[in-house]
Chain A
Amino acid sequence: MRYDRPNTEGSKLQYKARYGNYINGEFVAPVRGMYFENVSPVTGRPFCEIPRSTGEDIERALDAAHAAKVAWGRTPPAERANILNKIADVMEANLELLALSESWDNGKPIRETLAADLPLAVDHFRYFAGCIRAEEGSASELDADTLSLLIKEPLGVVGQIIPWNFPLLMAAWKLAPALAAGNCVVLKPAEQTPVTILLWAELVGHLLPPGVLNIVNGFGVEAGKPLASSPRVAKIAFTGETSTGRLIMQYASENIIPVTLELGGKSPNVFFADVWDRDDDFRQKALEGFVMFLLNQGEVCTCPSRALIDARMYDDFLAAAVARTRGVAPGDPYDTDTKLGAQASNDQLEKILSYIDIGKKEGARLLCGGERVVLPGDLEGGYYVAPTVFEGQNAMRIFQEEIFGPVVSVTKFNDFDEAIRLASDTLYGLGAGVWSRDIHTAFRAARAIPAGRVWTNCYHLYPAHASFGGYKNSGIGRENHRMMLDHYQQTKNVLISHSEKPMGFF
């Protein structure tokens, strides 16, 4: 089935020509009146205008957030949870609409937005609604006269900068715990994918008190930087790359505020020889695990972009894996059969092609793909890349840098120790995959690889109740899981003496 294009008669998705920022419970024009054109990577053509906001708009949003923070922080957790659950219900009722927009804005296949992005985002709101209801502090009787209470308090107003690869889902990852914990938020979406969250705010904004949620669009340098460097935010959360991550830490150091950073990875996917022992479901599952590098066109921070394959089955496994990869071709993201959509932007396309180029120059062997794909009709101007498999050595740059495209680099290992050495030989430590029928091998490998998430006999699952975040250069802090509430809370210690006698110090 193919969905009708947005703004055609048959589509339930009708974009406005121009959107505003969402501040203090209403949509408002940017202070300076500037806008930029929002391009769909599906066609390469602009389809709406988005505010090109500046520091003035950030200040306006911060004013609203600060005005709302005391009341929201004191709102009973049960009430906040109910609101999050209502947000989830409205999202679910509008799932198809939001999925269509996410695919149009980002280029990802509608199959994925319907089955993953939206259902996961809905679930994150429900999960943190549950977490905040169940949350409690602690009490310790330190001695017969002294009681120590640990009570959680919201941080106040927090800033969040959202990436473009899963625009709504990554916003949900950050918003749900922050709102649940009682914070007010100023959120800046990525300038590549700014619009779905505005549709979302149109649907759910009224459920929150004005000022609790504020969305300011614009470019990183013009809107993101004023937010990240503001002395009026109590915390900044960012998903992106390392230079901006360092800059955000630099700004945070000036204001002495905490940061959460998720900065990507170069995730190894390790296949031990026993996966090939039998021609059964598990072998097919492992081959599917190899092809997971194509999920979301490879634009995933945990893309399994390095496949490490046991030498004892290397040729057989790789031949089958490449054959399976060849079976996936980019297509119309609005066709429910399409498994590989468009890269999110022209510069992303150019970057991927530049990495394919250096891969060839470094002597990696191209096993399939390696080129831009031009699709017919209105897709002609879109940004499509053929699934690409390189075979080479782990020291090559295509093994060391996040390409953020449908590109996997394959090499072999001879024993367990070499597998772990290669898997660990990277600046990053966000995700990893290990595949083995032997639970001892699988578990030992999972523990040995320095990464925040090791998928063991699976890949690319993102449940709300599993922590996510990086070791090494992949960042600081975690997302998901109820522990995330801690990232958005202060701990207040109330230390109580029951004794009426003088303390005796002076």
Chain B
Amino acid sequence: MGFQQVTATPAAIALIRQLRAVHGPLMFHQSGGCCDGSAPMCYPRGEFRIGSRDVLLGTIEDCEVYIGGDQYERWKHTTLTIDAVPGRGAGFSLEAPEGMRFLTRSDMCSAEELAALAKDPPRRGPGDDEEPGLGSPRRSSM
């Protein structure tokens, strides 16, 4: 992918490192909908099954950040910054017991960034290139 649509603040990076020390490799999925929605969810890597329509926004601190394909269509003109603030609940996101909550802040893409995205659109699921996914030749068919 040409241009990373997601970055992280120092507070988020510190929290990721803290969580990784406990839980191992991590991943993010940007949620939508009510309650704790419209916020990024942090899971152990592989816990959340990335589907073929999920979009990889980028990688922060060695964590892939995905968003649902339909939701991406409505967010694609913006860049995201994952931050961390004091907070409480978060679905099944890993940071809640730490008294912190990941938060998505947003900015508009510049004309150059939009052009870069048009030229080189972000990758979709299923995830790491090394892992066999839907349609992968490494997937046994019989």
Q: Which residues of A contact B (CB under 8 A)?
A: 36, 39, 52, 163-165, 190-192, 219-222, 224-225, 228, 239-247, 250, 262-265, 301, 345-348, 350-351, 354-355, 357-358, 361-362, 395, 397, 400-404, 427-428, 473-474
Contacts and interface: CB of A to CB of B under 8 A. Distances in A.
B92 A164 contact: no
Contacts of B90: 220-221, 347
Nearest to B94: A221
Contacts of B35: 163-165, 190, 239-241, 264, 301, 404
A225 B97 CA distance: 13
Nearest to A245: B33
Given A52-B97, A354-B103, A358-B78, A192 B88 contact: yes
Given A192-B88, A220-B90, A361 B97 contact: no
B30 A354 contact: no
A337 B122 CA distance: 51
A355 B80 CA distance: 12
Contacts of A250: 48-49
A247 B32 contact: no
Contact of B33 (A263, A354, A355, A395): A263
B2 interface: no
Contacts of A239: 34-35
B108 A362 contact: yes
Contact of A347 (B41, B48, B86, B106): B86
Contacts of B86: 346-347
B89 A192 contact: yes
B134 interface: no
Contacts of A265: 33-34
A221 B93 contact: yes
Interface string B92-103: 111011000101
Given A225-B92, A240-B91, A402-B32, A263 B108 contact: no
B99 to A, nearest CB: 8
Nearest to B86: A346
B92 A247 contact: yes
Contacts of A165: 34-35
Contacts of A240: 33-37, 91
B92 A244 contact: yes
B70 interface: yes
Interface in B17-61: 29-39, 41, 43, 47-49
A247 B90 CA distance: 13
B88 A345 contact: yes
Contacts of A164: 35, 89
Given A221-B94, A348-B87, 13 more contacts: A241-B34, A242-B33, A242-B37, A243-B37, A244-B92, A246-B29, A262-B34, A264-B35, A401-B74, A402-B32, A402-B38, A404-B34, A404-B35
Give the size range of B's interface with the partner.
35 or more
Smallest CB-CB A-B distances: 6 pairs: A264-B34, A347-B87, A241-B37, A264-B33, A244-B91, A243-B31
29 contacts: A36-B97, A52-B97, A165-B35, A220-B90, A220-B96, A221-B92, A221-B94, A221-B97, A228-B92, A240-B33, A241-B31, A241-B34, A241-B35, A241-B38, A242-B31, A244-B31, A262-B34, A264-B37, A265-B34, A301-B33, A346-B85, A347-B88, A347-B101, A354-B106, A358-B106, A402-B32, A404-B37, A427-B70, A428-B33
A412 B34 CA distance: 25
A358 B86 CA distance: 21
Nearest to B31: A243
A388 to B, nearest CB: 16
Contact of B106 (A36, A163, A397, A404): A397
Contacts of B106: 354, 357-358, 361, 397
A242 B39 CA distance: 10
Contacts of B49: 246, 250
Contacts of A190: 35, 89
A403 B32 CA distance: 10
Nearest to B37: A241
Contacts of A264: 32-35, 37
B4 interface: no
A473 B68 CA distance: 11
Contacts of B97: 36, 52, 219, 221-222
A354 B104 contact: yes
A221 B91 CA distance: 7
B87 A243 contact: no
B124 interface: no
